[in-house]
């Protein structure tokens, strides 16, 4: 055998070994690459019907929570605007003035009931409400009538005001 023939046999043996190794690798990998039938399934429960009620419940809960969040945000915004309106300088001034006027009216009513020149009866009208009072030796009776005609009667015993 010539040198050339020996080299060709070596090359042929090398090629055969490479093919055998390739077939062994493919043979080992073929067990891992087992195929299955391809089937199509809808992912959305609305189409497939699987877990449909749970899907609808989730959608309902999301819609409800979004609506509630919007309502809460609108209410918070309205409350904030109302607070801002009530905290203006003019609004505080009006509340303070109104409080002082009511205190003065109250003191005048007390003076006319219990003062040196006390009257036995009288009435005043305040923001559509009528306040009537009557006094005798034992009781002071206040009758408050609102604009709708609803009456509230308050009776104070005079003897309980002694100190």
pLDDT in tens, 20-71: 989 888 877 766 556 678 887 777 777 767 777 787 888 899 999 999 999 9
Within a domain: residue 38? no
Task: Provide the residue range defining the domain that includes 109.
Answer: 89-161
- Among 143, 163, 138, smallest CA distance to 153 is for 143
Using pLDDT thresholds of 50, 70 and 90, give the confidence band for residue 80.
very high
What is the count of structural domains for the chain?
Answer: 2
- Among 157, 153, 160, 152, smallest CA distance to 136 is for 157
Within a domain: residue 33? no
Within a domain: residue 115? yes
Residues 123 and 153 in one domain: yes
Within a domain: residue 9? no
pLDDT at residue 1 greater than cutoff 70: no
User: Which 8-state DSSP code applies to residue 149?
Assistant: -
pTM surpassing 0.75? no
pLDDT score, position 59 = 87
Within a domain: residue 46? no
- Please provide the average confidence, as pLDDT, over all residues in the chain: 83
Residues 96 and 152 in one domain: yes
Residues 134 and 155 in one domain: yes
Within a domain: residue 119? yes
């Amino acid at each position: 055998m010539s040198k050339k023939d020996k080299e060709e046999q070596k090359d042929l043996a090398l090629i055969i070994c490479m093919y055998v190794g390739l077939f062994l690798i493919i043979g080992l990998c073929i067990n891992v690459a087992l195929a299955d039938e391809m089937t199509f399934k809808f992912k959305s429960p609305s189409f497939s019907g699987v877990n449909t009620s749970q899907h609808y419940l989730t959608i309902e809960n999301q819609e409800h929570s979004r609506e509630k969040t919007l309502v809460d945000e609108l209410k918070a915004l309205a409350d904030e605007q109302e607070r801002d309106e009530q905290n203006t300088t003019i609004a505080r001034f009006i509340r303070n003035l109104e409080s002082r006027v009511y205190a003065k009216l109250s003191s005048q009513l007390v003076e006319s009931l219990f003062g040196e020149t006390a009257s036995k009866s009288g009435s005043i009208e305040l923001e559509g409400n009528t306040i009537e009072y009557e006094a005798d030796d034992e009781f002071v009776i206040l009758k408050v009538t609102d604009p709708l005609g609803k009456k509230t009667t308050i009776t104070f015993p005079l003897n309980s005001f002694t100190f």
